[in-house]
Structure 1
């Protein structure tokens, strides 16, 4: 059995317009802080808190940083970022408040069995940046590997965009799924689709420029908005799809269950026997 990591590292990079803020309380600072808090938290009365604080200042406290092994405590990190950074899964709620006429599900409301199943990797690297992947493209890719879709297959769209990770071109130069290609997969039993690009749709700048020229609203995030008509979810920002066979592997991509969130990060792993 071989495990293949399909997730990018969450980091600040030219490929990500959004940024992550990462703050850390160090081992040494943590020892000092916990010593302070240990004394102050015990006292509820404001005057007793003040007295405890004074004891800390003059060194008459029962616990200090030196009491910890090597004068160090444990670290604590605080990370602030969008649910749409790194390799992540978009829930139906991300696409709109309603799905199939019912309240759309948030990421924590989706069943676990949706995120584990037979993986199919379709090679669509010949589709040029700026072009939308059509239903015909999907059918041809399936015919090339002589595969017929079945219920709950997890389909991965290999565009080759992951090779641009780390550059600005990753965000601006890619192909993307069309509504008709998405509908074809969903109508054939697929509920989870992944892509190795920044967005499931065409890159934002390309879509917006075309919309400004034509004012046709169907040019804006058509694959995303299809999720208002039929329930499905997708994974964005995969990597290493070239290391996968076309079929014959399992995909494991459980999202972090954030209450009420529209998306969540996932460590996507392919299991190849």
Structure 2
């Protein structure tokens, strides 16, 4: 009997079944390619025992022999050096700039938690490839999904970019929203927009090339800079979106880690699907 079957058997008659949980998060992996590499240092349980003995001697003047512990081991300890935008994470309004038309942008620890546990709406825009997702493509995706998001629904873009996660192509081969497309979703009351891509904007190189050709500054980071006009958050670097049951029928939970004064926080984003 599986754990799920055992839990079902133990549940009282008539009790609601627990929702199915789909993991939408990438691992923080020091072995994967990152433009800002991750440093992951591991203190083994044996090293932890020796470290504890040294600390007890230094701070309390107590002698302790690690050999007295089972196997000579205490506890492991992981130390990581990474940005708050590594792995699946939530961008706060303060990430987009120091000032907003609505006032001072909030940091990630100040955002309302009820933004991050909401019905989800998946928009499939994989046909765009690399470049810009415009408003017309978003409108067509909404038609294909069969509904318009309600205010505070979490909209997720399936670009297909997560197939490159962990490689340099993840940084260059994806599609992102332009300004009108972002504004359209915000006009509908959406306050959290997610993507399986590196960024909610188009790739850096793509934006800069279009700016150099046109001189139009509006092509530079339009999805992020929309957050200077209206307060909203992004979830970047999602994955496993193909496991979702369809455009809707699930709840997204993506509470960001509460980092004081930070422009982003890591999240273990999941989808909850009714049994």
> TM (normalized to structure 2)?
0.89
Give secondary structure in 2 for the equivalent of 1:103: coil
Alignment: residue pair count: 255
**Could you list the runs of 5+ residues in structure 1 that have no partner in the other structure?**
44-60
Partner in structure 1 of residue 23 of structure 2: 5
Partner in structure 1 of residue 227 of structure 2: 227
Partner in structure 1 of residue 15 of structure 2: none
Partners of 2:83 and 2:52 in 1: CA distance = 30
Whether the aligned pair in 2 keeps the contact of 1:20 and 1:80 (CA below 8 Å) is yes
- Runs of at least 4 residues off by over 3 Å: 12-15, 212-215
Task: Look at both structures and tell me which one has the larger radius of gyration over its CA atoms.
Answer: 1
Whether the aligned pair in 1 keeps the contact of 2:149 and 2:155 (CA below 8 Å) is no
Give secondary structure in 2 for the equivalent of 1:256: coil
RMSD of aligned alpha carbons: 1.5
Partners of 1:184 and 1:160 in 2: CA distance = 22
Q: Work out whether 1:29 is the aligned partner of 2:47.
A: yes
Whether the aligned pair in 2 keeps the contact of 1:157 and 1:195 (CA below 8 Å) is yes
- Deviation, 1:138, is 1.2
- Deviation, 1:15, is 4.6
**Could you list the runs of 5+ residues in structure 2 that have no partner in the other structure?**
1-18
Partners of 2:50 and 2:31 in 1: CA distance = 34
Q: Work out whether 1:146 is the aligned partner of 2:164.
A: no
Whether the aligned pair in 2 keeps the contact of 1:14 and 1:168 (CA below 8 Å) is no
Q: Work out whether 1:39 is the aligned partner of 2:57.
A: yes
Whether the aligned pair in 2 keeps the contact of 1:25 and 1:75 (CA below 8 Å) is yes
Whether the aligned pair in 2 keeps the contact of 1:107 and 1:259 (CA below 8 Å) is yes
Whether the aligned pair in 2 keeps the contact of 1:15 and 1:169 (CA below 8 Å) is no
Q: Which moved more, 1:239-248 or 1:203-212?
A: 203-212
Whether the aligned pair in 2 keeps the contact of 1:152 and 1:189 (CA below 8 Å) is yes
> TM (normalized to structure 1)?
0.89
- Deviation, 1:149, is 2.1
